[in-house]
Amino acid sequence: MSKYREGRVEEIREHLAELKRRGVPVAQYAAEIGVSAWTIYTWKKRFGSGRARQAKRAVARQAELIEISRRGLAQGIEIELGPATVRVPLGFDAEDLERVLRAVRSC
């Protein structure tokens, strides 16, 4: 039995659609509607589009993380998503990285 009533499920799906339409960071949208970012991630996992979840899993299986180093000091990470490679320096903003990865995945 779900802890969400049907009306609430529709409201959650509307929030997820609005988040996707606006393309803002999850943390920003969560603050705007008065919930935690983790709540939205839970909603996405539970109520998000099945095809989107399958596509993310396929990309995750294809992704390979490689630590970039020079003389033993970590310089950042490299993310290979199929034919695309994203090089991420240390200190890179997580929200910016999220936007970059969304853009790469949409190609």
Q: pLDDT, tens digit, for every residue of 35-94?
A: 999 999 888 888 876 555 555 555 555 555 555 555 555 677 777 777 777 788 877 888
Give burial (CB, 10 Å; 0-12/13-18/19+) of 13: middle
Which of 6-10, 12-16, 56-60, 91-95 has maximum average pLDDT?
A: 12-16
What is the domain range of residue 33? Answer: 1-48
Judge contact between 69 and 90, C-beta under 8 A: no
This prediction has a pTM of 0.45
Shared domain check, 34 and 68: no
Shared domain check, 104 and 57: yes
Q: How many domains does the structure of the chain reveal?
A: 2
Q: Which amino acid belongs to residue 37?
A: A
Shared domain check, 32 and 57: no
Shared domain check, 98 and 61: yes
Q: Residue 1: enclosing H or E segment and its boundaries?
A: none
Residue 78 pairs in a beta bridge with 66, 87
Shared domain check, 91 and 42: no
At 30, is the pLDDT very low, low, confident or very high (cuts 50, 70, 90)? very high
Distance CA 15, CA 39 (A): 12
Shared domain check, 38 and 9: yes
- pLDDT the model gives residue 31: 94
More confident residue, 51 or 22: 22
Shared domain check, 60 and 41: no
Shared domain check, 17 and 31: yes
- pLDDT the model gives residue 79: 77
- pLDDT the model gives residue 66: 53
Q: Residue 71: enclosing H or E segment and its boundaries?
A: none
Shared domain check, 72 and 23: no
Classify strands 84-89 and 73-81 as parallel, antiparallel or unpaired.
antiparallel
Strands (E), 1-107: 64-70, 73-81, 84-89
Shared domain check, 90 and 58: yes
